[in-house]
Amino acid sequence: MGSNLDALTTVFTEFYYWLTVALMFLIHVGFCMYEVGASRRRNHMHTLMKNSMLIPLVTVTFFYFGWWIYWAFPNGPFINGGILWDDAAANSPISSTMGTNLGDRITGVFWAAFLLFSWTAASIVSGSVIERINSGAFWILAVVIGSGAWIIDAAWGWHYGGWMVQLLGYHDAYASGVIHAIAGGFALGVLVVLGPRIGKFAADGTPRNIRPHNSWMVCIGLFCIYTGFWGFYVACNVPIIDPGGIGGLITGETWTATTIYLTPTTLGAITVNFLMSLSGGMLAAFMVSKGDAFWTYSGGLAGIIAASAGNDIYHPIQAMIIGMVGAWVAYKMHHWVERRFKIDDAVGAVAVHGYAGFAGLIIAGFVLWGHPSSPYEGYASINPLGQFVGAIIMFFVLGFLPGWVVAKILHSFGLLRIPKQVELLGLDFRSTQEQRAATAEIREAQKSEI
Amino acid sequence: MTTTGIESWAVDLAEVGAIYPFQGTEWLWVIIGLATWIGWHVWCVNWEKSYHEEKIQQFGDKSKIEEALEED
């Protein structure tokens, strides 16, 4: 920190990212409430622990190798160059910048913001597979997406030097694809192998609606996700940087907030667009679901997710209309895929995150056609084909495929799905019985004192 | 060609204003948004009316209302 202005900028940036991390915790609180609310009473505690334990597992693995991958693989590797050993070395678990280091105040908070995205990616998958997956199998899948697949996609398409940005003009400022489409695709890959919950489909294939045991809790969980989403959004920005710090084509002395690609935007723009896309999503979802609370809240999320690719640039009304399209796509696709392919996505995660994110990427390609994807020279500009190829890479190549392959491997070892008897009894059956016995014993002891 | 008016970031940011797509068509977007909003209200009041009418047809007889009151 050379001057007081440098010091202020650095400490502001450090505090800014720290705050996003604290806010993003609410996403995980929301996911836990939402999943437990959607599960039936006999599965509560297992559902809660399945989601909760991804926190330590993804955190540790992200520290060991996830963060290294982000800095090592922007070129593929071997698509647009080799492994970036020097950049990666500064972010490896043995780098001095990963510990307390008065010369680097940003790496730690930046790591943590990325980590919270990792939790989100894994948590999206968690909801779709409730009530029949082995927790141990899920935790392996959580590490694969949380510290593997998603961070590879971030290196490729969510890094100022990522090959997808350079060659395809890929633009995904608030992660329609790099978090949501990939997690939705991954969940779908797992669901294809895992199969539906017992009783989900009638003999003729008609889907049955397994209602959430507590609709209130599900909706408040989604509300918490909305709240945490504020942290997610601002964490996707660089809060303040001078053109010299960017080192690209921008001239002059005007400092700015930027996206992860270092393209200029404003906090005001993303705040308005966030709210307008949320509103568009809720309005459309209420309409298409005929007032269903679960789908209206989910539609709000789908709205934000669909507009996220370009919410750094859109006009607010464009964000609202795109949000409406995202919610409509999510609702319609969920029910069509459920009926047609007998996919039991317990919370609609594939639809809300996967299909809405996929649609949002495609839309951004048309609406932002020709806008520069980077402040650096020689990068492709944003275009529909680049966004379409990007959406395929996110949803299928880095999402569906790894999810399906790892689930197949786990299934081949008999590790993926819980035994049928356990599913019928409920995952919490044993602990509930023990609890009842303990309560009865205490009651008897109390009675003996009368 | 670009929808935002920004061809390249080789600019002085002090001289750049709006960067959203399709500048100059704001009125069109406002009209689309307005129509969507008003349309939503029209749809909503009609839907809610028919939704309640359907409920009355299904559950509106005296015995069912008494049953519901018992459950409350």
Q: Does B60 reside within a domain?
A: yes
Residue B71 has pLDDT above 90, yes or no: no
Residue B42 lies in a domain: yes
For the residues A276-289, what does the mean pLDDT come to?
Answer: 98
Instruction: Kindly write down the DSSP assignment for every residue of A305-340, as one continuous string.
Output: HHHGGGTTT--HHHHHHHHHHHHHHHHHHHHHHHHH
pLDDT at A86: 96
Query: CATH code at A230?
Result: 1.10.3430.10
Which class for B53: exposed (0-12), middle (13-18), buried (19 or more C-beta within 10 A)? exposed
Model confidence at B72, pLDDT cuts 50, 70, 90, reads low
pLDDT for the residue numbered B70: 86
Cβ contact, residue pair A252, B3, below 8 Å: no
Position A188 confidence tier, pLDDT thresholds 50, 70, 90: very high
Region label for B12, one of left (φ > 0), alpha (ψ between -120 and 50) or beta (otherwise): beta
Contact list in B for residue A317 (CB cut-off 8 A) is: 29-30, 32-33
Residue A168 belongs to some domain of the structure = yes
User: How does pLDDT run across A115-126, given as a tens digit for each residue?
Assistant: 999 999 999 999
Please indicate whether, in this complex, the C-beta atoms of B21 and A313 are within 8 angstroms of each other: yes
CA A24 to centroid of chain Cα atoms: 11
Q: How long is chain A?
A: 450
Q: What percent of chain B has pLDDT over 90?
A: 81
Assigned domain for B2 exists: no
* Mean pLDDT along residues A233-253: 95
Instruction: Test B13 with A317 for CB contact under 8 angstroms.
Output: no
The DSSP secondary structure of A179-199, one letter per residue, reads IIIHHHHHHHHHHHHH-PPTT
Q: Does a structural domain hold residue A202?
A: no
pLDDT, position B68: 87
Does residue B66 lie within any of the structural domains? yes
**CB distance from B61 to chain A under 8 Å?**
no
B60 touches chain A (CB under 8 A): no
Number of domains in chain B: 1
Q: What is the pLDDT of residues A118-172, one digit of tens each?
A: 999 999 999 999 999 999 999 999 999 999 999 999 999 999 999 999 999 999 9
pLDDT band at B1 (very low <50, low <70, confident <90, very high): confident
- The rounded mean pLDDT for chain A is 97
Q: Does A209 touch chain B (CB under 8 A)?
A: no
Residue B8 within any structural domain of the chain: no
Contacts of B14 in chain A (CB under 8 A): 252-254
The 10s digit of each residue's pLDDT in A189-239 is: 999 999 999 999 999 999 999 989 999 999 999 999 999 999 999 999 999
Q: Structural domain of residue B42, as residue ranges?
A: 24-71
Give per-residue pLDDT as tens, A376-399: 999 999 999 999 999 999 999 999
- What does the pLDDT read at residue A355? 98
C-beta atoms of B1 and A313 within 8 A: no
Tell me how close the Cα of B43 comes to any Cα of chain A, in angstroms.
Answer: 8
**Domain count of the fold of chain A:** 1
Per-residue pLDDT band for B34 (boundaries 50, 70, 90) equals very high
> Using a CB-CB distance cutoff of 8 angstroms, which residues of chain A are in contact with residue B1?
369-370
Average pLDDT over residues A321-340: 98
Q: Can you read off the two tokens belonging to residue A278?
A: 């949320």
> What percent of chain A shows pLDDT beyond 70?
100
- The pLDDT-based confidence of A271 (bands split at 50, 70, 90) is very high
Long-range CB pairs of A269-275 (<8 Å, 24+ gap) are A269/A311, A269/A312, A269/A313, A269/B20, A270/A174, A270/A233, A270/A234, A270/A237, A270/A311, A270/A312, A272/A316, A272/A319, A273/A307, A273/A311, A273/A312, A273/A314, A273/A316, A273/A319, A274/A229, A274/A230, A274/A233, A274/A304, A274/A311, A274/A319
Instruction: Indicate the pLDDT class of residue A102, thresholds 50, 70 and 90.
Output: very high
Is B35 a member of any domain? yes
Q: How many CA within 13 A on the CB side of residue A77? A: 10
Domain that holds residue A257: 14-195+209-440
Question: ipTM more than 0.90?
Answer: yes
Residue B5 lies in a domain: no
Say if A319 is an interface residue toward chain B (CB within 8 Å): no
Taking a C-beta distance cutoff of 8 angstroms, is the pair A124, A301 a contact? no
Asked if residue A1 has pLDDT above 60, the reply is no
Q: Is residue A8 part of a domain?
A: no
Judged by CB atoms closer than 8 Å, whether chains meet at B22 and A371 is answered as no
In this structure, is residue B36 part of a structural domain?
Answer: yes
